[in-house]
Structures are given as C-alpha cells and as structure tokens.
Amino acid sequence: MTSPVWHPFTQHALAGAMPRVDRSDGAWLETEHGRLLDAISSWWVITHGHRHPKIVEAIKAQADKLDQVIFAGFTHQPAEDLARGLIAIAPARLAHVFYSDSGSTSVEVALKMALGFWRNQDKPRSRIIALEHAYHGDTVGTMSAGARGVFNAAYEPLLFDVARLPFPEGRGCDTLAALEELAKGAAALIVEPLVLGAGGMRLYSAELLCKMKALCERHGTLFIADEVMTGFGRTGTLFACEQAGITPDILCLAKGLTGGSLPLAATLCTPEIFQAHYSPDRSRTFFHSSSFTANPIACAAAVANLQIWCEEPVRERVAALGAMQEERLAQFRGDTRFENVRRLGTIAALDLKVPDPGYLAGLGPELTAFFHARGVLLRPLGNTIYVMPPYCVTAAELDLVYDAVAAAAVGFGGM
Ligand SMILES: *Cc1c(COP(=O)(O)O)cnc(C)c1O
C-alpha cells in the first residue's frame, strides 16, 4: 500500500493513493481504474497526442544506433539536424541553439547567457526584470524570476532579487511605465509571451508584448521569451512571439519540443549573445552543461516532431481545436457562476466564482478529484479551470470535458 515514491507538488498527508497509469494513446491515459481523457496534455507537454507513431518510430530507430554521448567536444546528427530545423522555424535572427533537459534549465541557461553577455563586454549588468504572477520553473534561479508565494516561501532566503512589473491590465499602461523606469541598465526582461501559465492562465495582448520588446530595445535590455509552455502551437501560432512580430534575444523551449515524448530543452539566441562569448579568452566560455545535454534519442524525437509540423496539417488542427474550444466556452459566457471566460489558441480557461477565499486552497484538489471521477484529467489552478488538450482531441472528446466542467459548476459553483 505505501510507496517510497515522493510525488511532485503533492501533499502526501492529504493525497490518496496515486492511480497507476499503464498506457497512453492519443488523448487518453489508461489507468488501473479505467480510462482518463488527458485534457491538460499531461501537464502541458503532449502536443500532437500520446505516442504519435512517427515520434515512437524515431525513438526506436535512434535507440538502436546511439544512446547518450558526451556533448562537450563531440556532436551527433540528431542534435545538428534539430538545431538547423529550429533555426529555420524560429523567429528570424535566432542563430544558435544551446541544449539542456528541462524548461527550468532552459531558463537558467537564458539568464546565464544574459549575464555573460554583459560581463564579457565589460559592461556588467545584473538586474533581471520579470512579470508579476510569472512562472519560470522550480530551480532556485527560476523561482527567483517567478512570482513569490506559498510555493517558494521556504526558499525565499536563497532567492535573488528581481525587479517586478505589474501584470498588464487593460492596455497595460502601468506595466509599460514600470518597464520604462526599470529597463535602463537592466540585464534582461524575461516574459512568458501572451499567457502566464502556472500564474493562472492570465492573458495579455500581442500589442503589449510588442511594446515591451520595443522598450527593451531602446534601453539595450535583453529580451528573454520563455516559450516553454507557449511554444509549438499552444497559442494558435507555432510560437507566441510570432503574434507580436517580435524576435526575442533569447528563446526558451522545452515541453512540446519532443511532442512531449521525452525530456529535452533548447535555448536559442541571437549572434550578438553568442559573439559575446566567442573569444580566444577561455574565461569567456559559456560555462554550462548538464549530463544529458542534447541526448541523441530525445533530439531524434524532436526532429520527428518538426517533421510532423512540416508534413501534417498541424496548424489546421490547432486552428480547429481553437474553434472547438471557443464554441464550448460560449455556454459559460453569460453564466454567473463563472467569470473571466477566456481563450488563446488551444488554451481555454474560466474562473469558478467562489466568494470564500479561505476555501480556495482546498478547491483545486477537490475539483481535480471530481473530474477524475468523471473520467477527465483536469487539474485546476485554484478556482481557475483550464482545458489544454493535445491537438488530436475530437469534438466528442471535448464534449466530455465540458460536460464535466458544467457538472462542476452545479457541484461547486456559487458557493
Ligand atoms: C513548465 C514551465 C517551465 C518549467 O519547465 P520544466 O520542464 O517543468 O522545468 C518554465 N517556464 C514555463 C513558462 C513553464 O510553463
């Protein structure tokens, strides 16, 4: 009955036994207790669907040839192919690809690149600017850049100071005014473009993103786009930055990079950032590595993912999913039990109105259990219910999800 496994973001004193997941297929998970519709893409990583045949095939083929190999002093074809493939589809001017193994490490790499950029030019700048409610990962550096709260209160003494922009409301004048104040002399601004994921699926406009980028340019402040969640179609375009027509100086990718099949991350940067580290002086080396940097099997899975984007009508699927989400959200748009009904690309979210904030802490897990009992994997952020399924989800499957959301409003809403 008792397991030695310590699960992530889990209070074991309150959580029951974890259902064992045995198989996955398309939008479905098969657990020991029955099937679950994976309406959050297994924590935002699965894009096309579980076990896409071309990705599975690429993983098998690569595993037969080359497994892990040291990446300092060596290279391999999957890493080379993937880097060229990413440069070809990423916003213009991104020219170099640094591999790591998770979203958090891709952001750590980005922050280190930014500081190295300034230090190597003997113009040391170290201030990082970030958005209120941001989430950039769970390592000490990325927690520092992220919002402070119950999740990192215990580690606060170790976190470094970050200048914070108010989350954009309306036209975002306060945000821009704060950025104008802080950008001068800052090393970098880091943002989740268009949607703050773990911060509650909060949306802001492409216009504002564009203005923030312009302001950074004016002050020479580097612009880091954390597209760990938004990348690979989530927001309706391949990358969220496209909607603002901007190229960040540094771009972080992870979750959907391998279609969600294997852990892999990439931090892309402009020639200027690379050049600042390019020198006969060894002290200007970019000093970062993780053991599994550019794992060949993960890179092969990512190359297969890029091929799927080329060969299959993924953009059409993403657009169709967005339209289906919009149709189903319509029923909640005048419903007084909900507020902030919103959508961006394939991501739909709505807040269940619960006047007693003291109740909020326990609401998320209660809702999660309610949805599980109805065969749907949803994991609300407090009272924010969001639906972020893999792109293979069908209209009938999406109906199951929204029937469950409607039922939750009856069970939990208006309390
Ligand atoms: C998930 C996420 C991360 C962290 O990625 P991990 O792979 O979990 O380390 C960083 N930034 C954003 C925006 C994310 O959504």
What's the rounded Cα separation, in Å, for the pair 311 and 207?
A: 31
**Is residue 100 a contact partner of residue 293, using CB atoms and an 8 Å limit?**
yes
Q: Do residues 302 and 264 lie in contact, with contact meaning Cβ atoms separated by under 8 Å?
A: yes
Ligand 1 centre and the CA of 104: distance in Å?
6
How many CB atoms neighbour CB 373 within 10 A? Answer: 11
Atom number in ligand 1 closest to CA 103: 5
Pocket test for ligand 1, best of 136, 239, 257, 292 (most atoms within 8 A of CB): 136
Which atom in ligand 1 lies closest to the alpha carbon of residue 265? 7
Please tell me what DSSP assigns to residue 160: P
What pLDDT is recorded for position 356?
67
CATH 3.90.1150.10 domain position(s) in the chain: 12-48+313-412
How many Å lie between the centroid of ligand 1 and the Cα of residue 4?
26
What confidence score (pLDDT) does residue 51 get? 98
Which pLDDT belongs to residue 378?
98
Measured in angstroms, how far is the CA atom of residue 289 from the centroid of ligand 1?
Answer: 18
- SS3 (DSSP) at 281: coil
How many angstroms is it from 192 CA to the middle of ligand 1? Answer: 10
Q: How many whole angstroms from 176 Cα to the centroid of ligand 1?
A: 25
Residue of minimum CA distance from atom 7 in ligand 1:
103
Q: Whose CA is nearest to atom 10 of ligand 1?
A: 136
- Dist. CA 240 → ligand 1 center (Å): 15
pLDDT for 355 equals 74
Atom of ligand 1 nearest to the CA of 142: 10
Fold held by 53-311: Aspartate Aminotransferase; domain 2 (3.40.640)
Q: How far is the CA of 228 from the centre of ligand 1 (A)?
A: 6
Distance 334 CA to ligand 1 centre (A): 33
Q: Report the C-alpha gap between 316 and 74 in whole angstroms.
A: 39
Q: Which amino acid is it at 117? A: F
Q: Within 6 Å (CB) of ligand 1, which residues are found?
A: 102-104, 107, 135-137, 192, 197-198, 226, 228-229, 254
Q: Which atom of ligand 1 is nearest to the CA of 198?
A: 15
In this structure, what DSSP letter does residue 5 have?
-
Phi-psi region of 201 (alpha: psi -120 to 50; beta: other; left: phi over 0): left
Ligand 1 centroid – CA 45 distance (Å): 10
Architecture of domain 12-48+313-412: Alpha-Beta Complex (3.90)
Which residues have C-beta within 8 Å of that of residue 255, sequence separation ≥ 6?
Answer: 44, 45, 103, 228, 229, 231, 232
- Shortest-distance atom of ligand 1 to CA 255: 7
Q: Is the dihedral of CA 395, 400, 403, 409 positive or negative?
A: negative
* CA of 61 relative to ligand 1 center, distance in Å: 28
Please state the atom number of ligand 1 nearest to the C-alpha of residue 102. 7
pTM for the structure as a whole: 0.97
pLDDT beneath 50, residues of the chain: none
The structure tokens listed for 11 are 């209070």
| Closest ligand 1 atom to Cα of 104 | 9
Beta bridge partners of 225: 191, 251
User: Would you give the end-to-end CA distance of the chain in angstroms?
Assistant: 36
Which residue puts its alpha carbon closest to atom 15 of ligand 1? 229
* The predicted structure's pLDDT at residue 358: 52
Cβ 102 vs Cβ 110: under 8 Å: no
- Residue count of the chain, please give it: 415
The number of the ligand 1 atom at minimal distance from the alpha carbon of 226 is: 13
Within the chain, all domains assigned CATH 3.40.640.10 are found at: 53-311
**Cα of 96 from ligand 1 centre, angstroms:** 21
CA distance 133 to 150: 12
pLDDT score at 170: 84
Point out which residues pair with 129 in neighbouring strands.
163, 189
Ligand 1 nearest-atom number relative to CA 263: 7
User: Which residue has its alpha carbon closest to ligand 1 atom 5?
Assistant: 103
pLDDT of residue 84: 98
Q: Residues 6 or more apart from 80 whose CB is under 8 A from it? A: none
